[in-house]
Every structure is written in C-alpha cells, then in structure tokens.
C-alpha cells in the first residue's frame, strides 16, 4: 500500500538528530560554568581560581587560608542567590512549557490560571497589614494556589470542565485578583507599603537566604519530578481533549495533576522572589527551537536553559549599577526583542 505522495522537502528536520543526553550534558556543564563565573562577579570581585580554591578547600574541610569575608560573600550572599535564581528560572520555564502543551497554545505563560496575580494579592495584603517577611512569603504561596483552586472550581460549578472554560475562568480570576490588588494599593501607605508592593511585583533575589530556599524545596521537587515524568503525556494532551481520550488518555486527571504541579512550581518561585515576567513564555520557545517540540526532549532542556538564563539575569541585576535592578525590568528588556524575533520566524504560521 504505497498511497502517500512525496511532499516537498521540509525546511529543516528540526526535531533534531543530537541525542537529548548530549544536550543535557552540555547544558549542565554550561550551568556549572555560569554558576562559577557568577559567584566571582559582584561589587567585590574575585578570580575564578580563588573562588574554586575556597569552595574545594571548604568542601574538603581544610584550614582556611583566606579572608573570612570572602567565604561569607561566596557562601552567604552569592550562592543562595544563585541557587534560588536557578531554581526559579527552571520552575518558570518548566511550568510555562507544561501550560503551553496542555492549553495547545505556544503563547501562554504560567500566569494563565491566575497563580501570579493571586500570589501578588497575598503578598500585598501581608505588606499592607505589616506582617513579617516570612508571613508575606507564606501568604503569596497560599493565595497563589488559592487563586488556581478558584480557577479550577468555577468550571466545575458551571458543569463543564473543558479547557476553554478553564482558560476563561482563569481570565475571570486574574481580573478579580487585579481588582483586589488595586484596592490594596489604593489604601496602602504610598511612602513605605506601596513601594514595597511595587518592588515585590517586579521581582528580586536580593533578600533570598538559605531558609527561604529550604521552605519551598519540597513543593519544587514534587513539581519537577511529577512534571518531567509526565512530559510525554503532556504532548498527548496537546492533541486536545477529545483526541487524547480517543487515544486512551485519562485527560482530566493528567491535566489537573499537571496544572497543580505547575502551579506549585510557580507559587514557590513567586513567594521566594516576587513575580518575574517573560521567562515562562520565552524559554520554552527557545528550548523548542534548539531541540524540537517533543516534550520528552525540550522540557528538561527548558529547565536547564531557564536556570542558566535566570542566573545570568540576576547577576546582571546586581552588577549593572550601584543599586539592585528589579528582575522583571531586565527579563522584559531581554524577552521582548527575543519574542519579536520569534514572531518573525513564525509569522507565516500565526495568522
């Protein structure tokens, strides 16, 4: 049965010939290199050799032959920042990838179902009430998940849980959260609280310490493990609900598990460093460009790229001027032109 005609040769066999393990090994090496270089950069800069020496000697338990200040800078100022930036970059990139697959739309970001706007309301409320920073984090995490919970509940109450209902419900919840946030900002003290809320909305790793990382480590690990294990299924879900079911996929349980885990990742990120835009949108595209669209390939690559990108951006943020630049300012500055380039590449397909 030779039925199909020969089609024109495709532009490029983009799905990639390079084995994915090579990509992962290469990007992991790049990540380690970036971490090492970024540990050296800062107001007090050190050489790579010196940093490496301090770290290996410290790990081996050797007597310190360096100034204690250097050790403090590496281990208590820069390392926690770099670790959290890496985790946040990977989280946002992975949850963006997952959302784009599930909602069959390469233009959605992890904010689609209201997790970021919910987290903003939680944090702003806590700042308004002068609660301590730990509570603010907790509020951001809780309200972010609460907002997604609300988004998942509304279609259930209306008796139709299709994807489109879920997306519309996300629009409603995001709008609602926006209005709450507006109210909070309106009554906040413009001198102190309003500034804190605005700064929080733009994201920063400046105040991240080890306990902050530890407190979100468990939800993050759960999110990473479950989503990477589901990567093939998310591609099956990207066939659409009816088709996925006809192929034998339990659509809703898989979708809900993926949405909840992606929300865990985003909420964990947001509560650690505030909201960061563009990463969840742009990095998955970049990953797909490099290794093709197969979830089993580009999702792990997306994580590593997100981590590298975020560490570089954060290092830029703390080095570019005398004071800290909010992260979202930089991510949008880099993200917008990148997105234009992407749109240019795909202008034929996006009608």
Partner 1 sequence: MIYDVRKLQFAYPGGKNIINDASFTLDEGEILTILGPNGAGKSTLFNCLANIRRPGSGQILLDGKPMEKMSVKEVAKVIGYVQQTHVAVFDYTVIYFVMMGRAANVGMFSKPKEEDRRIAMDALKTLGIDHLAERPYTAISGGERQMALIARALTQQPRAILLDEPTSHLDFGRSTLILELVRELKSRGYSVIMTTHDPNHAMLLGGKAALLDRQGILHVGPAEEVVTEENLRPLYRSELHIVDIPQLGRKACLSAGLKAI
Residue ranges in contact with partner 1 by CB under 8 A: 1-7, 10-11, 13-15, 101, 104-106, 226, 229-233, 235-236, 238-240, 242-251, 254, 288, 292-294, 296, 349
The C-alpha atoms of residue 292 and residue 332 are separated, in whole angstroms, by 25
Residue 229 beta carbon to partner 1: minimum distance, rounded to whole angstroms: 4
Give the list of residues 6+ apart from residue 88 with CB closer than 8 angstroms, or none: 205, 269, 272, 273, 276, 310
Q: Record the tokens describing residue 63, joined without a space.
A: 């007597």
Q: Which is nearer to partner 1, 130 or 296 (CB)?
A: 296
Question: How many CA atoms are closer than 13 Å to the CA of 228, on its beta-carbon side?
Answer: 17
The C-alpha atoms of residue 319 and residue 244 are separated, in whole angstroms, by 48
Residue 116 beta carbon to partner 1: minimum distance, rounded to whole angstroms: 24
Q: Which is nearer to partner 1, 33 or 289 (CB)?
A: 289
Residue 259 beta carbon to partner 1: minimum distance, rounded to whole angstroms: 16
The C-alpha atoms of residue 336 and residue 37 are separated, in whole angstroms, by 26
Residue 255 beta carbon to partner 1: minimum distance, rounded to whole angstroms: 13
Give the list of residues 6+ apart from residue 223 with CB closer than 8 angstroms, or none: 91, 94, 95, 261, 262, 264, 265, 268
Question: How many CA atoms are closer than 13 Å to the CA of 71, on its beta-carbon side?
Answer: 13
Residue 15 beta carbon to partner 1: minimum distance, rounded to whole angstroms: 4
Q: Which is nearer to partner 1, 67 or 245 (CB)?
A: 245
Q: Record the tokens describing residue 224, joined without a space.
A: 């990473």
Helix axes 295-319, 20-40, angle to 10 degrees: 10
Residue 14 beta carbon to partner 1: minimum distance, rounded to whole angstroms: 6
Q: Record the tokens describing residue 313, joined without a space.
A: 């951006």
Q: Which is nearer to partner 1, 191 or 347 (CB)?
A: 347
Residue 280 beta carbon to partner 1: minimum distance, rounded to whole angstroms: 17
The C-alpha atoms of residue 284 and residue 92 are separated, in whole angstroms, by 9
Residue 138 CA to chain centroid, in angstroms? 18
Q: Which is nearer to partner 1, 205 or 233 (CB)?
A: 233
Q: Which is nearer to partner 1, 213 or 237 (CB)?
A: 237
Q: Which is nearer to partner 1, 251 or 309 (CB)?
A: 251
Helical H segments across 41-111, by residue range:
48-60, 68-72, 79-102
């Amino acid at each position: 049965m030779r039925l199909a005609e020969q089609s024109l040769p495709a532009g490029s066999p983009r799905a990639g010939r390079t084995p994915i393990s090579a990509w992962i090994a290469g990007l992991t090496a790049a990540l380690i290199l970036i971490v090492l270089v970024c540990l050296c950069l800062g107001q007090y800069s050190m050489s790579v050799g010196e940093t490496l020496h301090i770290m290996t000697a410290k790990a081996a338990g050797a007597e310190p032959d360096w100034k204690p200040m250097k050790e403090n800078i590496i281990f208590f100022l820069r390392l926690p920042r770099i670790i959290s930036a890496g985790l946040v970059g990977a989280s946002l990139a992975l949850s963006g990838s997952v959302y784009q697959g599930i909602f069959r739309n390469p233009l959605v970001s992890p904010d689609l179902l209201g997790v970021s706007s919910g987290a903003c309301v939680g944090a702003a409320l806590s700042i308004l009430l002068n609660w301590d920073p730990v509570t603010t984090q907790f509020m951001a995490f809780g309200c972010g998940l609460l907002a997604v919970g609300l988004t998942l509940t509304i279609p259930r109450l209306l008796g139709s849980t299709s994807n489109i209902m879920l997306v519309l419900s996300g629009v409603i919840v995001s709008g609602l959260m926006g209005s709450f946030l507006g109210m909070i900002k309106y009554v906040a003290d413009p001198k102190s609280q309003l500034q804190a809320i605005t700064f929080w909305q733009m994201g920063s790793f400046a105040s991240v310490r080890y306990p902050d990382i530890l407190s979100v480590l468990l939800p993050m690990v759960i999110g990473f493990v479950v989503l990477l294990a589901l990567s093939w299924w998310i591609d099956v879900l990207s066939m659409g609900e009816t088709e996925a079911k006809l192929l034998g996929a339990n659509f809703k349980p898989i979708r809900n598990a993926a949405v909840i885990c992606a929300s865990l990742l985003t909420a964990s990120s947001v509560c650690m460093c505030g909201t960061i835009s563009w990463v969840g949108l742009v990095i998955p595209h970049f990953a797909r460009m490099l290794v093709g669209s197969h979830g089993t390939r580009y999702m792990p690559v997306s994580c590593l790229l997100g981590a590298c990108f975020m560490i570089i951006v954060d290092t830029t943020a703390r080095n570019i001027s005398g004071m800290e630049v909010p992260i979202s300012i930089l991510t949008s500055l880099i993200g917008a032109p990148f997105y234009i380039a992407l749109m240019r590449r795909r202008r034929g397909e996006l009608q």
